[in-house]
Amino acid sequence: MTIRSRFLCVAALLGIIAPTDAMAAGPVCDGIWHDAVRDRDVPVRIRMPDGDGRAPLILFSHGLGGSLDGGTLWAQAWANAGFIVIHLQHPGSDRSLLRSGDGLRMLRQMRSGGGIGDTFRAAMSPEQLDARVRDVKFVLDQIPTRRSEGACALTRIDLAHVGMSGHSFGAHTTQALAGQVFAKTGATTIEPRITASIAFSPSPPRGGSDAQAMVKVAKPFFSITGTADTTPALPDVTAADRERPFRAMPPGDKYLLVLKDATHADFSGNAGGFRQRGPSDHVAAAVIDTTIAFWRWTLSGDRAAKAALDDPKALAARLAVGDRLEHK
């Protein structure tokens, strides 16, 4: 069974979406939005659902060395389910890192277990995280000032219901916008316009206690990881460490999905990435199913979707032996 077919069967079974409105999406539009304050270009890719009505917005932030292709698999499913998705590309921590000889050498070094070099280390700096956070805030500021981007009508965006998501460094970006407190400064960059968040491969706090770092994450938050979720870029971060943000967050509308044997690359949502293949059908279907339920509940007020997400009897339909879906 294909990913598409399995998604439709499971989604219909759980009542998350009706078979008649599944897999219908509108135009995809690329643009470059210029932040005059920072003299910085921010590439965006906009995915529209079918129709002309207003719809909630989901933002996606790629991982280190990524591009607008990051999150494609997830974003296609979310747009098909009725959400508008905007991918952001972050200059300084995007695919430009891989274009230089130094960047390619560092990539080969990481793949062989040699650790991270200066080029990649600099791209993971607090300054780059701050730039990413500002990119997201800039895009949210821009939406009300722009009527369209190509064939994509930005006037359809419902800014009262905004989701934030990202993979790896994009997950770190998502955590920062959700209210993570950083030990060195005691500061937070929380974005009040964001209603709910999904972090693929969350990052454990660096310095200070986990509880202090996560104490201000109050809105719904979904952490997604796997038992093989490690990366040479962060050799000291284990797969178990990816669960720490969820464990430390205050209770109330917090979820954790752990998929057995799923790797760091499985969650990028980019089948055209470093390894040139996507996640297994099971991983893809489990992620698509649970994230759509989460977005339908948090962004569309669908209580049936929340009930499906919370119902232990539904776990067999979405998870395999060794997978875990927790909430608190």
Domain residue ranges in the chain: 3-327
pLDDT recorded at residue 112:
52
Amino acid at 183: A
60: tokens are 């996606």
Torsion angle of the four alpha carbons 125, 163, 95, 114, in this order, in degrees rounded to the nearest 10 = 50
Question: Phi-psi category of 92—alpha, beta or left, where left has phi over 0 and alpha has psi -120 to 50?
Answer: left
Which pLDDT does position 170 carry in this prediction? 97
pLDDT per 10-residue tile (average), the chain, 328 residues: 41 36 76 98 98 97 94 97 98 82 53 55 84 97 98 98 97 97 82 98 92 96 98 90 98 97 94 65 95 97 92 75 94
Task: Pull the structure tokens for residue 101.
Answer: 């000889």
Q: What is the pTM of this model?
A: 0.89
Residue 207: count other Cβ atoms within 10 Å of its Cβ. 9
- d(Cα 98, Cα 104) in Å, to the nearest integer? 5
Q: Tell me what pLDDT residue 198 has.
A: 98
DSSP state letter for 239: T
Q: What is the pLDDT of residue 10?
A: 39
Residues 6+ apart with CB under 8 A from 312: none
- The CA–CA distances, whole Å, from 59 to 6, 87, 150, 226, 243 equal 25, 6, 18, 22, 22
Contact 295, 196 (CB under 8 A): yes
Residue type, 268: S
Backbone φ and ψ of 284, nearest 5°: -60, -45
The position carrying tokens 């129709």 is 51
Q: Concatenate the DSSP letters of all residues of 72-103 into one string.
A: HHHHHHHHHTT-EEEEE--TTSBGGGGTSHHH
H helices of 192-263, where?
A: 210-214, 244-248
23/89 Cα distance (integer angstroms)? 25
> Superfamily assignment of 3-327 in CATH?
Alpha/Beta hydrolase fold, catalytic domain (3.40.50.1820)
